[in-house]
Amino acid sequence: MILPDSTIGMLGGGQLGRMFINAAHNLGYRVIVLEPDPYSPAGLIADEHIVADYDDVNAMQRLSESCDVITTEFENIPAFVLETLATSCPVYPNASAVEKAQDRTVEKAFIRSCGLLPVPYGAITTYSEIAAAVEKIDFPAIMKTARFGYDGKGQARVNSLVEVQQAYNNFERQHCVLEQMIDLKCEISVILARNEAGESHCFPVAENIHIDGILHQSIVPARADEDIMQAAQVAAKRIADKMEYVGVLAVEFFISQKDELLVNEIAPRTHNSGHYSMDACITSQFEQQVRAICGLSFADSRLLSPVVMTNMLGDLWDLTLDKPVLNAKPILKSRTSKLHLYAKREARAGRKMGHFNTLAETTEIAQKEADAIFNAIKTQ
């Protein structure tokens, strides 16, 4: 067991790392961040910030020598970095789990090997594979780069063979997957913590609303069928078990109009759709990550109140100003909403800058309040 006063290493400096550090600090841990950006959200509040590339040999050595355990908040940390660090310090999650989530083709094959259904797809690694991929799916479809996609980046909607060819060229012939467009009833996600002993603990299922491929709101409790939500939790647990995962993991699911449960993707880290837990659960996903990697027992993650989490993208900032600002007043005035800002130096359209959690007696009331706040900010 790694007890408070110990030092945790964090690979990556984004908002997930920042919120993890807050939780770790509350429990009395020190955190050292390895992240190349000197002004990253997590680096700014870390006990120590090693400003270097993730694969910098000296930085890796410094990190592993100074830490009792190392974790990550960013799925694109090169797997060999995790492997190398693991030779001298415990690293959770393990390299092979993270690696599976880094490539959509590997990920989908893995989902199948767990006996679960990925979204129907065809893999495209060369131009000549396009025709076969198109054969496998029906249009409309989405072309996605196999690696480095996030927040809807590296994706293109396609409706014909020619459009698939164009998208492949636009993505500079990187490896891609061609995914069938699913007629969605709803999107849900399961966030789960698992420890070395193989015990796992799920957070309440979140219902997720996306706008333009980016998460807009998470609603908890989700308004989905109970049996499907239970199946999603079982599926997430199976995925985590098969990966021998230690830490916090998120699985995004699609529920089709025909009530099929499809696995969209796996995130080997805490997740945007789990931010509601910061204010609406006894224990947040970030504290549970600390507990999982330090071998502490899990705390209760029960939902204390219906909640709606609303993301704030850079678009909400007044980008016409030299130093863009957010009109935070509508959130601060709402007695049942909690503001979380990530201290990013620059607001940009589409960039996740913060979120707010709105609590109420029902999700309907919470969503109404959240929407009113969001519109008030937008029309400032």
User: Which of 172, 370, 164, 195 is CA-nearest to residue 294?
Assistant: 195
Residue 337 CB, nearest distance to Mg ion (Å)? Answer: 25
Measured between alpha carbons, how far is 168 from 5 in angstroms, rounded to an integer? Answer: 50
179 sits in which H/E element: strand 176-180
Q: Which residues pair with 267 in a beta bridge?
A: 250
Binding ligand ATP by CB under 6 A: which of 31, 97, 111, 182? 182
Please work out, in degrees rounded to the nearest 5, the angle formed at the alpha carbon of residue 328 by the alpha carbons of 41 and 377.
Answer: 115
Residues 225-284 touching ligand ATP, rule: CB under 6 A, are 252, 264-265
Judged by beta carbon, residue 149 or residue 221, the one nearer ligand ATP is 149
Q: What is the rounded CA–CA span in Å between residue 70 and residue 9?
A: 4
* Part in contact with Mg ion (CB under 5 A); list of ranges 123-131, 141-149, 192-200, 251-259: 251-259
CA 136 to CA 311: how far, in whole Å?
Answer: 35
In terms of Cβ atoms closer than 10 Å to its own Cβ (0-12, 13-18, 19+), residue 263 is buried
Residue 181 contact, options ligand ATP, Mg ion, none, Cβ 5-8 Å cut-off depending on partner type: ligand ATP
Which of Mg ion, ligand ATP, none interacts with 36 (beta carbon under 5 to 8 A by kind)? Answer: none
Q: Which does 150 bind (CB under 5 to 8 A by kind): ligand ATP, Mg ion, none?
A: ligand ATP
Burial 102-124 (b: 16+ CB within 10 A, else e): bbbbebbebbeebebbbbbbbbb
CA–CA distance, 274 with 16 (Å, rounded to integer): 10
Pick the closest to residue 249 from 107, 83, 53, 358 (CA basis). Answer: 107
> How many residues interact with ligand ATP (rule CB under 6 A)?
18
Centre a 10 Å sphere on the Cβ of residue 36 and count the other Cβ atoms it contains: 15
In whole angstroms, the minimum distance from the beta carbon of 21 to Mg ion comes to 24
Indicate the residue among 179 and 252 with the shorter CB distance to Mg ion: 252
Rule CB under 6 A: is residue 185 a binding residue for ligand ATP?
A: no
Other C-beta atoms within 10 Å of 189: how many? 25
Contacts of 349 (CB under 8 A, 6+ apart): 313, 314, 315, 319
Q: Select the binding partner of residue 79 from Mg ion, ligand ATP, none (C-beta < 5 to 8 A, by kind).
A: none
Residue 248 CB, shortest distance to ligand ATP, in Å, is 15
User: Which listed option, Mg ion, ligand ATP, none, makes contact with residue 119 (CB within 5 to 8 Å by class)?
Assistant: ligand ATP
Determine contact, residues 248/193, Cβ cutoff 8 Å: yes
Q: How many residues interact with Mg ion (rule CB under 5 A)?
A: 1
Q: Which one of ligand ATP, Mg ion, none is in contact with 25 (Cβ closer than 5 to 8 A by kind)?
A: none
| x-marked contacts with ligand ATP along 120-159 as a string, rule CB under 6 A | ----------------------x------xxxxx------
* Residues in contact with ligand ATP, shown as a per-residue x/- string from 204 to 223 under the rule CB under 6 A: ------x--x----------
* Binding at 78: pick from Mg ion, ligand ATP, none (beta carbon under 5-8 Å per type): none
List contacts with ligand ATP (CB under 6 A): 119, 142, 149-153, 179-182, 184, 187, 210, 213, 252, 264-265
List contacts with Mg ion (CB under 5 A): 252
